[in-house]
Amino acid sequence: MQEFDLYAVLPELVLLVATCLLLVASVYVPERVVATPGVEQDIFHTPRGVGFVYFFTIILLVYLIFAFVGRMGDPALVAMNGLFQSDPLSNLLKACSCGAVLVSLIYSKQYLTDRAMFRPDFIVLALLALLGQMVLISGANLLTLYLGLELMALPTYALVAMRHNSEKSVEAGIKYFILGALASGFLLYGMSMLYGVTGSLDLIEIFKTVADPRINHLVMAFGLVFIVSGLAFKLGVVPFHMWVPDVYQGAPTAVTLMIAAAPKIAAFALLFRLLINTLLPLMGDWQPMLVVLAVLSLVVGNVTAIAQTNVKRMLAYSAIAQMGFVLLGMLSVFDEHAFSASMFYAITYVLTTLGTFGLLMALSRKGYDCETLDGLKGLNKKHPWFAFIGLVMMFSLAGIPPTVGFAAKLGVLEALVDGEHTFLAIIAVMASLIGAFYYLRVVKVMYFDEPVHDMAVSGSGYAKSILSLNCILVLALGIVPAGLMSLCLDAMRRTLLGS
The per-residue pLDDT for range 224-247, each reduced to its tens digit, is 899 998 888 888 888 888 888 999
> pLDDT for 258-287, tens place per residue?
999 889 999 999 999 988 888 888 888 888
Of 45-54, 188-197, 234-243, the one with minimum mean pLDDT is: 45-54
For residue 280, give its domain range.
3-498
Return the percentage of the chain with pLDDT > 70, whole number. Answer: 93
Residue 44, phi then psi, degrees to nearest 5:
-150, 155
Strands (E) located in 293-415: none
Mean pLDDT of 299-313: 91
- Look at residue 46 in the predicted model and tell me its pLDDT: 45
Q: Strand 77-79 and strand 31-34: pairing?
A: unpaired
**pLDDT bucket at 309, cuts 50 / 70 / 90:** confident
**pLDDT bucket at 492, cuts 50 / 70 / 90:** confident
- Look at residue 44 in the predicted model and tell me its pLDDT: 43
Does residue 253 have a pLDDT over 80? yes
Mean per-residue pLDDT of the chain = 87
Mean pLDDT of 10-32: 82
**pLDDT bucket at 43, cuts 50 / 70 / 90:** very low
- Look at residue 36 in the predicted model and tell me its pLDDT: 47
402 preceded by a cis bond (ω within 30 of 0): yes
Residue 370, phi then psi, degrees to nearest 5:
-80, 95
- Look at residue 156 in the predicted model and tell me its pLDDT: 92
**pLDDT bucket at 334, cuts 50 / 70 / 90:** low
Question: What's the angle, vertex CA 206, arms to CA 201 and CA 209, rounded to 5?
Answer: 135
* 47 against 406, higher pLDDT: 406
Mean pLDDT of 134-157: 92
Mean pLDDT of 324-335: 79
Rounded to an integer, what distance in angstroms lies between the CA atom of residue 337 and that of residue 455?
45
Mean pLDDT of 66-91: 88
Does residue 48 have a pLDDT over 60? no
Q: Select from 440, 463, 60 the least CA-distant residue to 257.
A: 463
Mean pLDDT of 242-254: 89
Given a contact cutoff of 8 angstroms between Cβ atoms, the answer to whether 481 and 365 are in contact is: no
Does residue 365 have a pLDDT over 90? no
- Look at residue 91 in the predicted model and tell me its pLDDT: 93
Q: Select from 365, 436, 356 the least CA-distant residue to 389.
A: 356
Does residue 40 have a pLDDT over 60? no
> What's the total number of domains in the chain?
1
Return the percentage of the chain with pLDDT > 90, whole number. Answer: 43
Instruction: Show Cβ contacts of residue 459 under 8 Å, excluding neighbours closer than 6 positions.
Output: 107, 109, 110, 111, 361, 362, 467
Q: What is the pTM of this model?
A: 0.91
